[in-house]
Amino acid sequence: MSAIVLDGVETAAAIKAEAGVELQRLRAAGVVPGLAVLLVGDDPASAVYVRNKTRSCEELGVRHETKRLPAGASTAEVAKVVEELNRRPEIHGILVQLPLPRGVDAERVLDLVDPAKDVDGFHPENVGRLVQKRPRFVPCTPAGIMELLHRRGIPVRGTRAVVVGRSDIVGKPMGLLLLHADATVTWAHSRTPDLVAVTREADLLVVAAGRPGLVRREHVRPGAVVIDVGMNRIERAEDARQLLEPARFRDFERRGHALVGDVHFPEVKEVASVITPVPRGVGPLTIAMLLKNTIRAARGAQGPADPGRVDSSYPLD
């Protein structure tokens, strides 16, 4: 058996197309959604993410700007930029690119973002709304995964789901969305004893642990659906030989690096029924949902709306 590979690019394109229709409605009313990205420091991965996000904004027609601060910026300097963006009416969405440098208090900075412009869904108010199943903005990666599952006809209700990872960005909101969709959810993490025993219970396994190739064949129940959220750059040939299929290994030899997930793709695709690849899996969905959230924020800024209504194809009840 070899798993069906879910290419996230196709689903992301569908989400962007739908967002584009809403964007044209807003433009007809004289509103151009605006997204501001705050990038602090010179982390190479963050710079790539920001370029991808701004490129997608340009393709769709969302106004965008990037605010850059040096790695040595203080918390107060970063906070000042956030507060300025909060005051600007033409900016509907604010994204603080994580991780922030060590010297910056990330919690304080994220708390300062206007909840109505918090298109990443990280503000405590928006987290609380998600817990109560009346979200304003759903964090982009978990929301994209739910869209992928729903649009590809993969059932969630009644399944046993395991989420490996407990970050505020992916693991925690992912588990909540699955719970709201009537899955029975277990969170696992780096301190979970006998991880194999826990993950093998899953009909649906979502892996967001930040460790390349963590989940292997023995972790997966035959026929399970496996969603790989990991995005890890590898540069050692010994890692590449273990984690990459032959065609990708040849590409690694040319480039000297490759991106891999938290799932050992060559092994797990032989036991899972469905699997997402890295790259071209979850990553494109994250950016599509960011654009969708930005357009939603622009619409909400035009007048009173139910802050608990999320325009998504997947059910929240």
Active-site residues: which are they?
Answer: 53, 97, 120
Rounded distance between C-alpha atoms, residue 213 and residue 127, angstroms: 30
The Cα-based distances of 212 to 93, 192, 202, 307 in angstroms read 32, 17, 20, 38
Strands ordered across the beta sheet of 93-96: 63-69, 34-40, 93-96
- Identify the bridge partners of residue 188 per DSSP, sorted by sequence position: 164
**Amino acid identity of 198?**
V
Q: What are the φ and ψ backbone dihedral angles of 136, each rounded to 5 degrees?
A: -90, -55
Mapped onto helix, strand or coil, the DSSP state of residue 29 is coil
Q: What is the gyration radius of the CA atoms in the chain, in angstroms?
A: 19
Task: Check: CB of residue 23 under 8 Å from CB of residue 61.
Answer: yes
> 3-state SS of the chain: helix, strand, coil percent to 5?
45, 15, 40
Mapped onto helix, strand or coil, the DSSP state of residue 305 is coil
